[in-house]
Amino acid sequence: MLRLLSRVFASIPIEGNRKAAAAHRSIWSAASVSSGFAVNPIMEPKLYRAPPEVRGMTSLDKEAFTQTITVPALRVPTGVINKVVKSLRKATIQRPGVPRVVQDKEESSDFRLVLLDPHRVSSPSSFSEAEAEALRSFSVAEELQYYELRLTYHNLKSEEVLEAVLPQGQDVTSGFSRVGHIAHMNLRDHQLPYKNLIGQVIMDKNPGVTCVVNKTNMIDSTYRNFKMEMLAGEENMVAKVKENGATYEFDFSHVYWNPRLSTEHQRVVQLVKRGDTVFDVFAGVGPFAVPAARSGANCLANDLNPESHRWLQHNCKLNKVEKKVRTFNLDGRAFIRGPVRQELPALLEGKASVHVVMNLPALALDFLDAFRGLLHQQPCCDENLPTVHCYGFSKDDNPEADVAERASHSLGFPLKDRCSVHFVRNVAPNKDMMCVSFTLPKEVLFSGDHEHTEPSAEPAPKRQKCEEATDSTQS
């Protein structure tokens, strides 16, 4: 019905006295009815709801969202328009693409209309004391008008479009992760019939998004990347992102990247000082190693996924730290037993700190067994031992105790009271990502319990070995 109306203007006198609210409201209703409205349009709570005909649409027809709604307005002399808009900031209409100031009906150059938010201003009494005072001080005529506003698809927010299209009463959550120009969604079953429409809406409503994908299965268990399906836009999966001052490029369909880990990356990198050494066992495309190298650390960064390894090398060059990062394409255990074992003895003799980062939360705690007896042929040393930051998921009621216990079990040494556990993020209902940090015990590193460790061709130790550690996690 609203759409059939031609432009309608009505005016209602404003009284300075806020107490006259009730009287104004009745005048307002009368004005609305006399203009041909069955209901007071200004009081309609879901004023920005799209036309009902769009419900069930699976292929986006933007024209079908066009409608005319009525909004309140104030007729303001052109000379004070900016001041009035500023004073009424909270009362003016706030819609994407909708101007707050329009020509008045006479198209006079002396006056403009300031459009008001109908949810905020339902009658003249809706103005706050401060707003009313400002209007008086600018000698704005005490009249409230209303204006027929043509709303199109472009003026609706993505939730409003999706709420109008998807089945009533069903969740329309349109949340997504943004990775450069890629919007990455995780649609639920009831949303799948609308997946292409949803993709198009997300692309239209988020400047810079040119590609929308949907995760089609669980995270790939080995390389932690998703299988995904294109929903909208051009298929270009090579993303460019910035995180903590570094730039990364990678093919999002082949490697792991999670924008929600930026704070965690920063937390750990801040612990690393110039001259320190970082062993990144599951490095991905470099979000620990690259910034650590940028702060002056020497890094050895490893990833089993050849694609991750390739982009890791690329990102080292991109951030000009290729001389500070040595990269490896090995299984995590082979990396620990190879390059880490090789470098560690000299580093233990030095003063700079050594960090080991192990971010593969589904499995990393199990990989800690690779440290058992890693330096069993080396002289014992209990200074400058590496600090390990190992990630784990936990569904336990006490996730701190759970990850500490699992780390202890894997090391064959109790970490109780010797580790700190940091909550990283909640990844699913009842599933937390945790980081357990500890100094790698000498009893583990120099233990004779090295059944998993390859025999070393290194020369026999000159100093005494540590007493062998027993598997004391059971105690």
Ligand X SMILES: C[S@@+](CC[C@H](N)C(=O)[O-])C[C@H]1O[C@@H](n2cnc3c(N)ncnc32)[C@H](O)[C@@H]1O
Binding-site residues, in ranges, read: 265, 303-304, 331-332, 359
111 vs 288, beta carbon nearer ligand X: 288
Say how far apart CA 19 and CA 421 lie, in whole Å.
59
Smallest distance from ligand X to CB 239, Å: 13
Say how far apart CA 238 and CA 242 lie, in whole Å.
14
Smallest distance from ligand X to CB 431, Å: 14
Residues that bind ligand X (CB under 6 A): 222-224, 256, 258, 261, 282-284, 287-288, 302-305, 308, 331-332, 359-360
Contact 265, 315 (CB under 8 A): no
What token pair was written down for 339? 């390059």
Smallest distance from ligand X to CB 77, Å: 58
Smallest distance from ligand X to CB 58, Å: 35
Half-sphere exposure of 257 (CA within 13 A, CB side): 31
Spatial neighbors of 413 by CB under 8 A, at least 6 apart, are 441, 443, 444, 469, 471, 472, 473
Smallest distance from ligand X to CB 284, Å: 3
160 vs 303, beta carbon nearer ligand X: 303
Query: Position 361: which residue type?
Result: P
201 vs 289, beta carbon nearer ligand X: 289
15 vs 251, beta carbon nearer ligand X: 251
Smallest distance from ligand X to CB 360, Å: 4
Smallest distance from ligand X to CB 358, Å: 9
Beta bridge partners of residue 468, listed in sequence order:
none
247 vs 398, beta carbon nearer ligand X: 247
Half-sphere exposure of 452 (CA within 13 A, CB side): 19
172 vs 246, beta carbon nearer ligand X: 246
Smallest distance from ligand X to CB 259, Å: 10
164 vs 312, beta carbon nearer ligand X: 312
Known binding-site positions for S-adenosyl-L-methionine:
265, 303-304, 331-332, 359
199 vs 332, beta carbon nearer ligand X: 332
| Number of Cβ within a 10 Å radius of residue 429 | 6
Q: Which residue number is nearest to ligand X in terms of Cβ?
A: 284
117 vs 280, beta carbon nearer ligand X: 280
Contact 17, 125 (CB under 8 A): no
Say how far apart CA 452 and CA 408 lie, in whole Å.
17
Smallest distance from ligand X to CB 453, Å: 17
Q: How many whole angstroms from its chain centre is CA 66?
A: 32
